[in-house]
Structure 1
């Protein structure tokens, strides 16, 4: 059977390395405002470590999304050409992606690569309970294990969950109501930041024309945040801290990368007369979007009438027009 111990050892090593670093620079392991900051910072910088390692993959994800966006006109042509023939359409689209070296799955790759880290941290924090105290854990010493087991965020143990029972929290010396409040607030922040990370990318790059890509976008935007509303109750507080920190890191990283690699500008629409017509431009922000109407052209100025040159004789309009015709008697 395939063992995941190597993931647990890797996650434990990163956590303990950061904990030793914070301890060495004087971050106290004792609770301040009901929080053991050395362990909280260790979880936060676990995120930083993983994201720095995955940064090249994230850049490839952005470039792949740009390539997919550039192929949208060709994808639309194939959809119209093979309308009603789904099998041929899929074959032609795969051939197009292969020829243009675009990978539709690259957009989800960074998230998939972080799943082992999430599972490793989830499994490790689940082991932090009084029943396992006095034991070693994936390279931890007994002292480190006992210290992490009693680590808290605002008096709520980092191994506690929204769905914890009163008996479980009593064993950790914690109040169940406090744990539910801290965990509940963190779950709400986790859902909101998960939604915003997907929305930020869609607002910048637009909805995909390909139905499969659009379905993936909708899943990322609505499906995952909704699933967290249910599954968040079983996540330890330490795991939720990891998730929220990861989302905040993603928001900042996406903002930077999207500025460095701006989305492709769609071509302007043309009228039937062949003249380019200005279209409203939709600009997306993090929390909303607004439509900017194109600036109206200023009305053409009336042609100026040239005045007489300096020194020229005034012109009599009656003379210049010739003699008037005689009236017939």
Structure 2
């Protein structure tokens, strides 16, 4: 399957944003060793993608909360089919189907961004100044824009350079090896940290899954992916790493907004706390559940005053102590001494 449509789409978005920044007066030359028009174009490529994927992101949140609400039922199935993994998986898949909860929805936004990520990787790899002119106009790039993008830098490091670029590749880009490695190394570390934080933020808000399969996916997303970037990040062009970091920061802000706007329901007895009774309820003696005041269904729906709770009699306190003389209740108590008169 050809990925040319993705390459054309990414090139078109980059060119449109660059034309916009050029129109509003963002300098195309280097300021502080950076071609800000192209850097902003990469940044707003992320914004464009996230706006398109926002409905999918909302579905991801809803699906994760639906799965969280199903955890008691999942736990009951695990107890019922303990030792029968095949039946357990069938029952859980049926439960997810009936409740319309998709366990894979949590990974869907990331999977949808993978083609864009590799598409940008391919386009930036293609931005080489020493290519023949007929290859510079591929994927809809005008010749002047291609030359400008191929010379784009971020703090004196070409956006198409990598941490693992060879000496010959850096020489072709006219780049300094130390500058490229320092900047690329810092960006890779930031990419790892922000990837970890995006996953941690979601898990802390929605809680760890009870289902072993979901728990494994959560751990893979939280620890596995950031660690893998330590190795694979050396192969990414600086522009791609910048895209990933920007995407993570956008995700952090977006998740924070959604989770504040639509906070997840608190799980019962979460963290060992008990639910507070509603105002006006009484706690019955020896019970942890609130007792609602009695209501009468009068003609006008008036509420009757709650009946006072009967006092609890401590039978142990009334029992005779060992060795004490029994008291005859018929005799009663002796009257007080009357005054002589």
TM-score, structure 1 length as denominator?
0.82
Q: CA deviation at 1:274?
A: 4.3
Distance 1:274 1:208 in 2: 31
Residues 122-158 of structure 1: CA deviation (Å, up to 9, x unaligned): 0000011123252212000111111111100000000
After TM superposition, the structure 1 = structure 2 runs for residues 50-61 of structure 1, keeping only pairs within 5 Å, are: 50-61=49-60
Shift of 1:39: 0.3
Q: In structure 1, how many angstroms separate the alpha carbons of the residues matched to 2:76 and 2:132?
A: 63
**Counterpart for residue 137 of structure 1:** 138
Deviations 1:60-118 (A, max 9, x none): 10001110011000000000000000011011101111111110011111111111110
Distance 2:106 2:227 in 1: 20
Aligned-residue offset at 1:167: 1.9
Report if the CA contact (8 A) 1:122-1:236 is conserved: yes
Cα drift, residue 324 of structure 1: 2.2
Structure 2 CA distance for partners of 1:113 and 1:133, relative to 1, 3 Å: same
Mapped contact 1:104–1:213 kept (Cα < 8 A): yes
Number of residue-to-residue matches in the alignment:
282
The residue that corresponds to 2:183 in the other structure is: 182
Of the two, which has the highest radius of gyration?
A: 2
Alpha-carbon distance in structure 1 between the residues aligned to 2:4 and 2:200:
35
Instruction: State the distance in 2 between where 1:325 and 1:217 align.
Output: 85
Name the CA distance, whole Å, in 2 between partners of 1:274 and 1:232.
58
Alignment correspondent of 2:337: 324
Give the structure 1 partner of residue 113 of structure 2. 114
The residue number in structure 1 matching 2:196 is 195
CA distance in 2, matches of 1:8, 1:233: 22
Instruction: Tell me if 1:258 matches 2:259.
Output: yes
Preserved CA contact (<8 Å) 1:133 1:145: no
What do the CA deviations read for 1:21-74 (whole angstroms, capped 9, x no partner)?
Answer: 000100011000000000000000000000000000100100011100110000
Match for residue 232 of structure 2?
231
- Corresponding residue number in structure 1 for 2:213: 212
Offset of residue 325 of structure 1: 6.4
> Where does the alignment leave 5 or more consecutive residues of structure 2 unmatched?
275-285, 291-333
The correspondence of residues 39-78 of structure 1 with structure 2, limited to 5 A, is 39-78=38-77
What's the secondary structure of 1:132's corresponding residue? coil
Note the alpha carbon deviations across 1:281-326, whole angstroms, 9 max, x for none.
Answer: xxxxxxxxxxxxxxxxxxxxxxxxxxxxxxxxxxxxxxxx975269
Secondary structure (helix, strand or coil) at the match of 1:159 reads: coil
> Does the 8 A contact of 1:69 with 1:264 survive in 2?
no
Partner of 2:288: 275
CA contact (8 A) 2:32 2:155 kept: yes
**Is the 1:11–1:117 Cα contact (8 Å) retained in structure 2?**
yes
Distance 1:40 1:133 in 2: 25
Report the counterpart of residue 81 of structure 1 in structure 2. Answer: 80
What is the match of residue 8 of structure 2? 9
Q: SS of the residue aligned with 1:220?
A: helix
Runs of 4+ off more than 2 Å? 321-326
Partners of 1:196 and 1:230 in 2: CA distance: 19
Query: Contact between 2:130 and 2:172, CA under 8 Å: does it hold in 1?
Result: no
Give the TM-score normalised by the residue count of structure 2: 0.80
- 1-side partners of 2:79 and 2:265: how far apart? 23
Unaligned runs of at least 5 residues, structure 1 = 278-320
**1:88/1:65 Cα in 2 relative to 1: closer, same or farther (>3 Å)?**
same
Assess if the C-alpha contact under 8 Å between 1:133 and 1:146 holds in 2: no
Q: Distance in 2 between matches of 1:76 and 1:189?
A: 38
Contact 2:191 2:241 in 1 (8 A): yes
